[in-house]
Homo-oligomer: A and B are copies of this chain.
């Protein structure tokens, strides 16, 4: 039915629950989660190829030079980015590739891959986001205020995305994400050989 997989870019502010939603849908092997590359050192417990692809600065810059990064940015003297090859390989194999990435990176992907689909995960409200961040209990009030400010800034960019869904109740958010992906599979832009298949089998 489909030759290539879909490139699905997912963003949302810290505390919106996108990790939990993605963990649910990634149980299905038709999805592939793209792992970022970085030049920073692995922290204790982090595994190369699981948390990140840990690369040397030389290797990362070589990839940039050879258009081997779909997007990258530098932050605190380290590079972070999305290697192109695993994404393209998986799409060719018909897998749907999930890119979990912040807004600026997503907009860079949009330039290089206009066929990608952009989905923003919203908290039900800023009030609820504050409650969730407080509940974690790991951060000071100052840090929580900073996160809420960042979240507000990101949510204001959500109109640049194709879809937005609210993560109020997890199972509904998961169903909504799966509905979007199913609809994209059925979109004739992504599956127009289906018509020929029906006509061929006379």
Contact = CB atoms under 8 A, between A and B. Distances in A.
Interface of A: 122-128, 152, 155-156, 158-159, 161-166, 175-176, 178-180, 182-184, 186-188, 191-192, 194-195, 197-199, 201-202
B155 A199 contact: yes
B201 A125 contact: yes
A86 to B, nearest CB: 27
Q: Is the interface of A mostly helix, strand, loop or mixed?
A: helix
Contact of A163 (B122, B123, B175, B183): B183
The 7 closest A-B pairs by CB, nearest first: A183-B183, A125-B201, A179-B182, A126-B202, A179-B179, A180-B183, A163-B186
Contacts of A164: 186, 188, 191, 194-195
Given A122-B195, A166-B194, A183-B184, A201 B127 contact: yes
